[in-house]
């Protein structure tokens, strides 16, 4: 079993609450790390803005163009 399959299997076991806690954890962790590297981030802020925009556009594209399994089927099929 590869790493990707393992991660997908484990993520299916998470509830919506687990995902919410993970998001809060990531934000708090980012705040702590950001407090220690604030001068680096301030000096290179435009590189971070470019990264955020590129990642956001990529995720947004995948979000809006992804095929939803079972979409378009009626209940009788």
Tell me the average pLDDT of the chain.
85
| CA–CA gap between residue 50 and residue 63 (Å, rounded) | 20
When pLDDT is averaged across residues 18-36 and rounded to a whole number, the result is: 91
Sign of the Cα pseudo-torsion (8, 49, 21, 30, in order): positive
- With a pLDDT cut of 90, the percent of the chain lying above it is 32
Residue 53's pLDDT is what?
94
Q: Positive or negative, the Cα torsion across 11, 19, 75, 73?
A: negative
Quote the pLDDT of residue 41.
86
């Amino acid at each position: 079993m590869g790493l990707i399959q393992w991660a997908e299997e484990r993520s299916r076991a998470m509830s919506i609450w687990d995902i919410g806690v993970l998001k809060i954890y990531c934000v708090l962790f980012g705040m702590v790390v950001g407090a220690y590297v604030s001068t680096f981030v301030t000096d290179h802020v435009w590189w971070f803005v470019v990264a955020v925009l590129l990642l956001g556009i990529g995720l947004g594209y995948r979000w809006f163009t992804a095929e939803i399994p079972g979409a378009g089927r009626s209940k009788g099929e």
